[in-house]
Structure 1
Amino acid sequence: MLELVNINTYYGPSHVLQNVSFEVKKGEIVCLLGANAAGKTTTMKTIFGLVRPKSGSVLFEEKPIERTLTGDIVKSGMALVPEARRIFPRMSVLENLELGAYTRRNRVEVREDMERVCQIFPRVRDRLKQVAGTMSGGEQQMLAMARALMSRPRMLCMDEPSMGLSPMLVETVFDTILRIREEGVTIFLVEQNASMALSLADRGYVLQTGKIVLSDSAKNLLTNDLVRQAYLGGE
């Protein structure tokens, strides 16, 4: 469904992503693991056209999108839950959700999806009239996920969804990710919380200083010595 082929992305003279290649198949949850400054967020920005690669290809459903505008990428069926949530804090929860559907014209289907995301995220339903910036961090994360689903994506990309959340809220977020996958949405997950990410993913990749250094099933990565030492606190 999503494939990166030999992606090289620069910030000025800095070679941030170096021949990065990976794939996400339809129906999978795939995680990209890496420490701070490994290039994870740059990978996500490259996928969504926020940063242009100098070379290489980004394919969504076998179509190249590396030169496509971000809005058109969303229209094609891919949505982003950005790092640090990036909700619109001065707008209401309802207005945030409506902005998630800005590319859509069928208002009946939009209302149906509004009801669907409110069923998935009951805390969001309870706060539709509330100013979004007054919500807790966990509630804002739920809103960011619900807003992304309002575009009716076939693939959902999430950048550090556990960042800044308590362990209990992290578990809630990851349980919700599984529910979203059960509804037929493919998920690509960028995470530092390797233990939680690998516990629900099908496969994973490890990114170090801009290079993919390891790829395997999530089960095998959980027991891999490199992953355990670097991300799981193993000896």
Structure 2
Amino acid sequence: MLRLSNINTFYGPSQVLQDVSLEVNKGEIVCLLGANAAGKTTTMKTIFGLVRARSGSIIFNDRDITRKATDAIVSSGLALVPEGRRVFSRMTVLENLEMGAYTRKSKAEFKSDLEHVCEIFPRIKERLKQVAGTMSGGEQQMLAMARALLSRPSMVCMDEPSMGLSPLMVETVFETILRIREEGKTIFLVEQNASMALKLADRGYVLQTGKIVLSDTAKNLLTNDLVRQAYLGGA
């Protein structure tokens, strides 16, 4: 469904991604693991055209999106839950959700989908008129996920969804990710919380200093010595 082939991405003269290749198949949860500054967020930004790959290709649903504009990529069925939530803090919850549906034309469909995401995220339903910036970090994460779903994506890409959240809220976020998958969405997940991500995912990749150094089933990665030492505390 999504395939990156030999992606090389730079910030000015500095190369961040080096021949990154990975794929996500329909219906999977695939995670990308790595330490800070490994290039995980740059990978996500490159997929969405926020940073341009200098070479390589990105194929989504058999279409080359390597040079497409970000709005065209979103319209093709990819949605992003960005690192740090990035909600519109001065807008209401409902206005944030409407921004998620900006590529949509049918008001009736939006209303139906809004009701559905409010079922998935009950706290969102209670706070539609609340200013988003006054919500807790966990509530803002739920809003960011709900906003992404309102573009009606076939694949949802999530960048560090557990960052800065309490352990209880992290559990809630990962339970919600499973529910989203059960509703037919494919999920590409960038995470530092390797233990939680690998328990959730079907497969995973490990990124170190801009290079993919491991790829395997999530079950195998959980028992891999390198992963255990680097990301699971040797547990």
Q: Aligning the two structures, in what range does the TM-score lie when normalised by the shorter sequence?
A: over 0.9
Cα distance between partner residues in 1 of 2:183 and 2:126: 22
1:139-158 equivalence runs, <5 A: 139-158=139-158
Deviations 1:58-86 (Å, cap 9, x if unpaired)?
A: 01011110100000000000000000000
| Cα distance in 2 between the residues matched to 1:33 and 1:49 | 21
Q: CA deviation at 1:134?
A: 0.2
SS of the aligned residue for 1:31 comes to strand
Task: Give the superposition deviation at 1:107.
Answer: 1.1
Q: Which residue of 2 aligns with 1:16?
A: 16
Q: Could you tell me how far apart the structure 2 residues matched to 1:97 and 1:63 are?
A: 28
Question: How far does residue 212 in structure 1 lie from its aligned partner after superposition?
Answer: 0.1
Structure-1-length-normalised TM-score: 0.99
Name stretches of at least 5 consecutive residues in structure 2 with no aligned partner: none
Q: Which amino acid aligns with 1:107?
A: K
Matched residues in 2 for 1:123 and 1:229: separation?
38
Q: Describe the SS at the equivalent of 1:5.
A: strand
Read off the aligned partner of 2:206 and give its amino acid letter: V
Q: TM-score, normalised to structure 2's length? A: 0.99
Letter in 2 for 1:65: I
Deviations 1:42-65 (A, max 9, x none): 000000000000000001011110
Deviation at 1:106, TM superposition (A): 1.1
CA–CA separation in structure 1 for the residues paired with 2:63 and 2:150:
23
Corresponding residue number in structure 1 for 2:80 = 80
**Aligned pairs (5 A) from 1:162-181:** 162-181=162-181
Q: Which residue of 1 aligns with 2:69?
A: 69
Note the aligned Cα RMSD (angstroms): 0.6
Q: Matched residues in 1 for 2:218 and 2:112: separation?
A: 34
- Equivalent residues in 2 for 1:42-121 (5 A)? 42-121=42-121
CA distance, structure 2, for counterparts of residue 171 and residue 2 of structure 1: 27
The code of the aligned residue for 1:180 comes to I
Equivalent residue pairs, number: 235
Q: Which runs of 4+ in 1 moved over 4 A?
A: none
> Does residue 29 in structure 1 map to residue 29 in structure 2?
yes
Percent identity of equivalent pairs: 79
**What residue number does 2:124 align with?**
124
Q: Which amino acid aligns with 2:194?
A: A
**Aligned partners of 1:129, 1:108: CA distance in 2, in Å?**
20
